[in-house]
Structure 1
């Protein structure tokens, strides 16, 4: 069953965040994942949205999504992201 990682991001250092964005796609691809969307700005049709960016990744299943998130390869990129942005990651199955 497909699984999705949904991420809300607030960027504090755009230049450093660009470095993170360059590293992440190869790590996602290595686990058979893909970007469903990488968007900003987000238009709130109901409620409010006060974040800089919304990202959605798709993986074959939750186990693979977790393996990607905790992988050595992604952890190196994550370290860069943590110095450039605050993010919340959510894992859901379809």
Structure 2
């Protein structure tokens, strides 16, 4: 089952962001990740959003998400961004659309 990484990114230092982004992107692609959403500034429709960027990345399964997150390549990206790019991540397993029902 597909799994997703939802990232809330706030770039505090643009120069560091430009260094971090390609390292993080390469690590994601090398671990089977695929960007579904990688827009610039989100446009809030309701509520308050304090991030400068939202990313949604699809992986083949949750095991691949964890392998990517713990990989030496992504650890390097995290070191680059430390204190300069604030990132919040959610790991979410996907559910197939057919047969999906909302809880009562």
* Aligned Cα root-mean-square deviation (Å): 1.1
Q: TM-score, normalised by structure 1?
A: 0.92
- Unpaired stretches in structure 2, ≥5 consecutive residues: 95-104
Contact 1:38 1:56 in 2 (8 A): yes
Residue by residue, what CA displacement relative to the aligned partner does 1:66-85 show, whole Å, maximum 9, x if unpaired? 11011011100111122321
- Which structure has the larger Rg over C-alpha atoms? 2
Q: Is the aligned partner of 1:84 residue 2:84?
A: yes
> Within 2, Cα distance between the matches of 1:18 and 1:74?
15
Q: TM-score, normalised by structure 2?
A: 0.84
- Unpaired stretches in structure 1, ≥5 consecutive residues: none
> Within 2, Cα distance between the matches of 1:68 and 1:51?
23
